[in-house]
Amino acid sequence: MVGFSKLMGRTVSVAPSLLIKRRRALGIFERELYALGLDHESVQELKAAYRELGSIQDWVFQEKE
């Protein structure tokens, strides 16, 4: 049980910084796509796919087939 408590405490303390880094990375990705000359619709589609790939919820709550 001590190991689980430690893991949860560490996860809670690290989560905010990971979310901030994820948001920054998403912004950088979007800027670079515009710099490449992509149109707004394409950028939004790629940004949504990038956001989905980095979703922690999909990794943690993934259904087993």
Domain boundaries, the chain: 2-60
Burial class of 47 by CB neighbour count within 10 A (0 to 12, 13 to 18, 19+):
middle
- Residue 54 has phi, psi (to 5 degrees) of -95, 10
pLDDT score at 22: 84
| 24-30 mean pLDDT | 94
Provide the whole-model pTM.
Answer: 0.63
Comparing C-alpha atoms, which of 65, 61, 29 is closest to residue 44? 29
pLDDT score at 28: 96
- Residue 39 has phi, psi (to 5 degrees) of -80, 165
